[in-house]
């Protein structure tokens, strides 16, 4: 049928008074263009039919996985094979009198087929990644960087196969030739290579996951994406910071995942007590402090314990320096500990203490160490602020002053 079509075109050209050679050339050129147009038309026809049938079935389906085939253009790219295969099968018949031209065009079509197949496999890999990302495991082990490597390998293979096909040689010969310029390639692709190694280390050592809160230089926020060469972080002001993947391995960064997965968020803050206000408690001071409900039981037990100790050791308590005595700072520490123990917003299963640290020129540091049960930043800061609002205000009730530089 193709031969008849070419003969018809050739006869028309001859009737117009053209030479035999020119008529043949024009006829076969028109036949080639016609083949290309028919192939393109067939592509759109197949795609239209699929949209009316297969696409409609997929969209109505309750299974979400098949929707990913459309999203990643798997079906659309398979349709591209239709015109490519049609042209490659009929091209020699369309140009029988120009075998060299037919061979050259056939090579172009074959290379196009190689890249179409590569694109199909790339789309399938993207689909598999999307399916994986619907699983909980994807948050623990992101595979975006691995997928990017696979796609790059696919296209590198496609390029090598195309070069080998064009030069009519073996791929091994191409690889040997590339080995001679490996130093140049290492220099050109050094960021890619370092990023590839870095992404493997991040994944293998579970150093970073999507959704982690990290702090590194200007970046302070949640990890949005882990790619082969970059890590994207959305900061708390909604700006996006991009960090090279290899830098995440070569430089220190803070990952707050441990805090997020634990039962609380740590509070570790100090207040400085003026040393000039620290003193032994007089009986009047003890009686005054007993009115504070949180330390009443503590004071009664403590006074009983001290009295028994002093009596057992025959200590003369007429002098306040003799024997064991209470201080207003010690009672204040006991009060803060009782206050923290009665705070429902703290995690009482984790470490909780009030400790006195090394005195400095700014007074006696009193550190409150506890864990907020609510790990959300805003709520955490609110809980922490409420605690220190109370502690700073309560200090005066124990005849203490918070150090403040004048």
Q: How confident is the model at residue 7 (pLDDT cuts 50, 70, 90)?
A: low
pLDDT digits (tens, 9 = 90+) for 324-382: 888 999 999 999 999 999 999 998 888 899 999 999 999 999 999 999 988 888 898 99
pLDDT at position 214: 87
pTM over 0.85: no
- What is the average per-residue pLDDT within 188-209? 73
Distance from C-alpha of 179 to C-alpha of 325, rounded to nearest angstrom: 83
- What is the average per-residue pLDDT within 12-31? 71
pLDDT at position 178: 63
Please determine, for residue 278, whether its predicted confidence score (pLDDT) is greater than 90. Answer: yes
pLDDT digits (tens, 9 = 90+) for 49-91: 877 787 777 777 777 777 777 778 887 888 888 888 888 887 7
pLDDT digits (tens, 9 = 90+) for 200-223: 777 766 788 888 888 888 888 888
More confident residue, 178 or 384: 384
110, 161 contact by CB (below 8 A): no
CA-closest candidate to residue 227, choices 243, 204, 207: 243
More confident residue, 357 or 198: 357
For residue 363, which phi and psi values (nearest 5 degrees)? Answer: 115, -160
Please determine, for residue 309, whether its predicted confidence score (pLDDT) is greater than 80. Answer: yes
Distance from C-alpha of 346 to C-alpha of 340, rounded to nearest angstrom: 7
More confident residue, 288 or 173: 288
Dihedral angle sign, alpha carbons of residues 359, 363, 366, 367 = negative
pLDDT at position 333: 94
Q: Where are the beta strands (DSSP E) in 256-404?
A: 265-273, 353-356, 364-372
- What is the average per-residue pLDDT within 100-124? 85
For the chain, how long is the longest CA-to-CA vector? 140
pLDDT at position 392: 94
pLDDT at position 175: 66
Give buried/exposed letters for 148-167 (b at 16+ CB in 10 A, else e): bbbbeebeeebeebbbbeee
Residues 6+ apart with CB under 8 A from 169: none
Give the bridge partners for 244, in sequence order: 230
Give the bridge partners for 370, in sequence order: 267
User: Which domains are seen in the chain, by residue range?
Assistant: 1-133 (no CATH), 135-261 (2.30.30.60), 265-398 (no CATH)
CA–CA distances in Å: residue 272 to residues 280, 358, 367, 399: 18, 11, 9, 14
Q: In this prediction, what percent of the chain has a pLDDT beyond 70?
A: 87
pLDDT at position 5: 64
Q: How many CB atoms lie within 10 A of CB 381?
A: 12
């Amino acid at each position: 049928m193709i031969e008849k079509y070419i003969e018809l075109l050739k006869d028309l050209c001859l009737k117009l008074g053209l030479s035999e050679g020119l008529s043949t050339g024009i006829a076969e050129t028109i036949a080639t263009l016609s083949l290309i147009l028919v192939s393109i038309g067939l592509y759109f026809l197949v795609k239209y039919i699929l949209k009316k049938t297969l696409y409609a079935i997929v969209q109505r389906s309750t299974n979400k996985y098949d929707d990913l085939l459309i999203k990643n253009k798997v079906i659309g790219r398979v349709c591209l094979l239709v015109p490519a295969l049609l042209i490659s099968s009929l091209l020699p018949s369309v140009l029988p009198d120009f075998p060299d031209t037919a061979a050259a065009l056939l090579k172009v079509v074959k290379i196009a087929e190689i890249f179409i197949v590569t694109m199909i496999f790339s789309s399938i890999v993207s689909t598999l990644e999307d399916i994986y990302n619907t699983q909980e495991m994807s948050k623990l082990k992101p595979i975006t960087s691995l997928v990017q490597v696979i796609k790059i390998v696919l296209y590198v293979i496609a390029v090598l196969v195309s070069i080998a096909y064009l030069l009519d040689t073996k791929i091994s010969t191409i690889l040997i030739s590339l080995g001679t310029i490996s130093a140049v390639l290492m220099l050109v692709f050094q960021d890619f290579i370092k990023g590839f190694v870095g992404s493997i280390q991040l994944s293998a050592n579970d150093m970073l996951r999507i959704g982690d809160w990290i702090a590194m230089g200007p970046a302070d926020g949640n990890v949005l994406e882990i790619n082969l060469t970059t890590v994207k972080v959305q900061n708390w002001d909604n700006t996006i910071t991009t960090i090279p993947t290899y830098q995440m391995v070569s430089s220190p960064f803070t990952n707050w995942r441990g805090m997020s997965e634990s039962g609380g968020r740590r509070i570790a803050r100090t207040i400085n007590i003026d040393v000039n206000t620290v003193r032994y408690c007089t009986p009047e001071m003890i009686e005054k402090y007993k009115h504070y409900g949180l330390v009443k039981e503590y004071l009664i037990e403590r006074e009983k314990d001290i009295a028994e100790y002093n009596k057992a050791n025959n200590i003369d308590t007429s002098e306040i320096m003799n024997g064991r005595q209470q201080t207003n700072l010690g009672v204040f520490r006991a009060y803060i500990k009782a206050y923290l123990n009665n705070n429902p917003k703290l995690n009482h299963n984790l470490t909780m203490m009030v400790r006195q640290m090394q005195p400095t020129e700014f007074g006696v540091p009193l550190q409150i160490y506890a864990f907020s049960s609510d790990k959300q930043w805003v709520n955490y800061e609110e809980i922490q602020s409420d605690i220190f609002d109370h502690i700073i205000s309560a200090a005066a009730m124990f005849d203490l002053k918070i150090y403040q530089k004048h």
